[in-house]
Structure 1
């Protein structure tokens, strides 16, 4: 090894930095051997606290996560620089998203943290958002809403804070996906040589001793197997150790015993008819039992020359993104009733969605609205249940203080609502309502001249601030001053006008569509198309279909062909039912593939295919089924589309050659070169 290093230094002109180098000796190396090695390599011994790129290289065998306790220290070191008592909850929320949730990501990508460590990290973030209480303080934070509700998505009534456990699992799941996606990578080859030399990653088992990273990968393999599958194109994947069909993991349990000397097929293409991409049903039903044999013969085969694709069934493009992995891990966590968030009524979720979409509202007002509707405001009655030092009575009138009293029934709130510009009797607004969101929905539907969503929430926010100032003896505002404070929260009018002017400029710069656009774009009128036109459409129905069992999908395909001729236009209309699909996009792709099949059989050349699905048109314009933007469930139909288009193009070239046979040979050579270029482009 020393000679190799010396040769490398002589050739490259570089030399190792021995002062920054270290060597790790196992417990089986004798002290004399250590000294002999150190005389050859002048380096120090590697201690247990050595880190590389922030990661500890030596992990304790009994408790490996102890080496990552420094992540806790990083959290606690960040807290003093953010004085949470001086910033709003919206600002704390942004700090959590951009800073605290990002700190452990780098380390979580290599090992699954224990529940205890994640609980400590979560407690720091939770206390920071509620009351800015540090972990080593004796004061307990007043948490008025479960953290699992806050970590829920905004569409489901939460605040969209990332769950640390779900982040950790999704990062390891993404790493497992990358290993399975690229079996030729250096990391995959190293892990295979050490932990599964005679198997694939899909059939790998726990074999001690194992690294912390590989142990984490093994825990995420069940999720990877459940949602991964190979899209068969060439069939060059193993039948016995890859997810190529449903129930592939139990394929050995469905084998039919064969005679001695029978050689079982190894690859998927061995189950095809010779020279064709069609299942050999005779062979399959003689090898496999039911129902696996029927599952195999109904597995789709994509007619394309691209390699077999590993796909993720939770994303349209078949790629395991970090977002889809996080959603999957979060759903599995919520599947446990103990960790499931509170069910939010549909009308409340819709109202919160409307609030979050208000671009002309301050973030702190939006966060306040969430706390108000999710019962997370520290009113007297709610906060008084947790501490005897907090009075449950209103600081102004001495009555029990809940949301209804604070914002509508207190004499101060009633006076504020009755002042300009509202002129409303607040007690009338709450009659017949038991929840705050029902009051706001009814208020918005009253169509008050001043009753826009930003104005209502800004006014409620100002009432809340006036109550807090009065409670803390900072400022005793008058009722009419609440409307003035709420008006100051509105965006400046010129901001809205400037936004409108930008939109007007964008509209003015839209070019007139008087020319035929490129394939994959919207067409203003089909009158711009010259030549044969083929229209395809599909109907996707899931209910109210006579004779259709509940839960099933009915698919209808319609094709309309318009052929110009000397005698006039020839029209052909075709209607048919199709096999069940999972999405409307897949139904549209079946219609397009059927249209090209008909065009190929009728030898309709120079045709323009028209569809009302812009997504499908853009995918077809790519002319490449391997493109990552193409959804995996329409690749089979697009491969049929491309194959039929190519056949029509070749047929057109054959007709062109027949017409050119009477031309001189010099002209034929030029045309042959042009045709070969055309075929290559296709």
Structure 2
């Protein structure tokens, strides 16, 4: 949120307090820090290494924002041969005037040949708009708290200990998973349940370990306040449970060293309906709220107040809670199979990771051939395209194989194929064309036409920007076809993959109407193909 500047007021306050003379990316880690800012600083390096700016307008700061691989060492590369020279400050200062092309001479002059090689590899999108901050691990490119947690948890996975205070019995772990996936439980109650079962609630006994100013005893009855006492054996908690529906004598519940796991397992050992789980943990939540009000605000809750708030909260998130509660009892439920489901879930997750890695490796290996094989079919199978093609050039189709070395994965390769198809369409002077693809993500992005908010994947933005630029004066549509109908594209892909690197393109014209000079060859020879290398063109 700070880097995206989603809340300008909050971002301004944090900047003024912690990094008044720097950007977030170069904020110092020393100095006085709150718990909030200290936690951010602990993961800042991980955030920095996985974030970068996609260049559109070139408004990113050269010295303090992650716009290229060497951005954090730009000062070390700076060379000043003449005093008084105006040093570039933002990315657009490194472009040729009135263009979005790198000024190679200027970059080499200021930063040297080694830095210039790295900078010149940074793609520049031809789309208008400010530079976009992207989060690499997710397709959307947006770094949310949820996505950041998933990434960090995957990078620094720590298994739950089997012994000690932080260990979790299997039934408790199963219950945690069930609670976390429950869409009808209030989010704050979910969070509280997670903290309670992970033994992270700041009871008097637990908080008293860190400060001598905290009273370790219960304020109501003067007994040492641990988890079991606070939620089950305190006079207030016992009154709440005994007056509940159904009533419960909490003072006879089993107790162990953890204080909370044994009574929870005992309550749910026969399997219960979700409504009962909601009600139990919501009751525990309001017992905790009542305890905090009594300890810190000197406010005394009544037992009925806890019950009313519990029932209102449960029914607010689950309107059918009352009916389900009357129709099903705890004793009538069969033993839950969540444990088996959880074990299968772990296995599925591992298999999914393996599949993703295979796709990424295979896509990178086949990137330079997986592009253009589809581009011809994009033109060939369009509704209006072939008619225009036949009328103007007297041809029935063009088959192209080509290579490119900047497609890192199947999705990016498919997008490069469509981009080349757009170049071919522009070179041939077509007015209407239908692009086809067997990739739903790409077709959806082409339909929406907004590369800023809905690019399909953040690394498609430069490719889609070039595609829309080439189709600016062309009436086009995009369609999704089944993969088995795209055999021609895959056949050309294999040919491009098996074809050795060539310095020239071979051309073959099998069209009987082209006696001497092929108009397709003339049109394509006069076009610029950028990073694409055309291997073979066949006109029929």
What TM-score comes out, normalization by structure 2 length?
0.46
Which structure's relative contact order is higher, taking Cα pairs within 8 Å and 6+ residues apart? 2
Give the greater-gyration-radius structure (CA).
1
TM-score by length of 1: 0.37
